[in-house]
Structure 1
Amino acid sequence: MKFLVSLLFLIVVFISSSMVGQQKTITVTIENISSDDGSVGFALYNKERFMKKPIQAKSTLIKNGKTIVKFENITNGEYSIICYHDKNNNKQMDFNSNGMPLEDYGSSKNKMSYGPPNFEDSKFLVKDKNVSLIIKF
């Protein structure tokens, strides 16, 4: 019985230590922000949660038209990032009366069309190493 408990304990320790090594970091840089006013809001999604509840959300300040954010403890998989320049710091994307955005925005892979971003056009893979992205507004 003691042997089984010890063996089970070792298996749990081995699995948990190997999973820690699988967690990655996603670093996102934006270099073309029109002003240092406000902040930039970022949301990290997987396919199931896209444009619903982010896996992680962050907000960063802008310095000299540039900002950098890191999403840490990310497991392997497909993800998408959407970000926007919250010029007035109201924590939401602002739109005019016809639905057009009043604030700059972007998404991973920088494929922007008329209309909101979609997962297939903005997805990227986290697998063997940390990921660095540049998003343009």
Structure 2
Amino acid sequence: MKRILGLALIAIAGTAGAATLNVTIDNIPDAQGNIRIALCSHADFLRPTCQYTAQTPARSGSVQLALNDVAPGTYALQAFQDRNGNRKLDRSFIGMPQEPLGFSRDPKLRFGPPDFDQADIAVTPAGGAITVHLITH
């Protein structure tokens, strides 16, 4: 019995300080496909291995998503409209994005994606809210 109680306390302690990040994705051009988001650590930024992900059907205008149980830390959020449901950002033969995309802090996209430092945000134990504006190329 003591062992079960100890394991329960460890599980509760592991989620202590975990936050909810409320995300608004804005400037969605149409209702085609899904909006996919990923909150990434520096090591996982721009990779398919981000720990915190969510998706919702696209809606013209904006949608809201929540990422729950986020450990406090520094992250960058990446978002895109997966219009064809293939779960990846489609690109042209020269690498230009073919689907609307955006990043936390709305950095200017010039010749490729932003660096982590241009999109990083702090998630505190209290959580928070951010808005990302999608852009099309």
TM-score range, shorter chain: 0.7 to 0.9
Distance in structure 1 (CA, Å) of the matches to 2:27 and 2:128: 20
Partner letter of residue 121 of structure 1?
Q
Cα 1:38–1:16 change in 2 (3 A) is closer
Question: Cα distance, 1:17 vs. partner?
Answer: 4.4
1:8-63: per-residue Cα shift (whole Å, max 9, x none)?
A: x9998777645533010111101210001111111110112222211122221123
- 1:112 aligned to which of 108, 113, 121: 108
3-state secondary structure, aligned to 2:117: helix
Give unmatched runs, 5+ long, in structure 1: 1-5
Deviates more, 1:26-35 or 1:45-54: 45-54
Partner letter of residue 133 of structure 2?
K
2:31 aligned with 1:33: no
Using the size of structure 1 for normalisation, the TM-score is 0.82
Question: Cα distance, 1:117 vs. partner?
Answer: 2.5
Query: Matched residue pairs, number?
Result: 131
Identity of aligned residues (%): 24
Cα 1:13–1:108 change in 2 (3 A) is same
CA contact 1:106–1:112 (8 Å) conserved in 2: no
Using the size of structure 2 for normalisation, the TM-score is 0.82
Root-mean-square deviation (CA, aligned residues, Å) is 2.2
3-state secondary structure, aligned to 1:129: coil
Mapping of 1:1-137 within 5 angstroms?
A: 17-52=12-47, 53-114=49-110, 115-137=112-134
Deviates more, 1:37-46 or 1:57-66: 57-66
Higher strand share: 2
Partner letter of residue 56 of structure 1?
Y
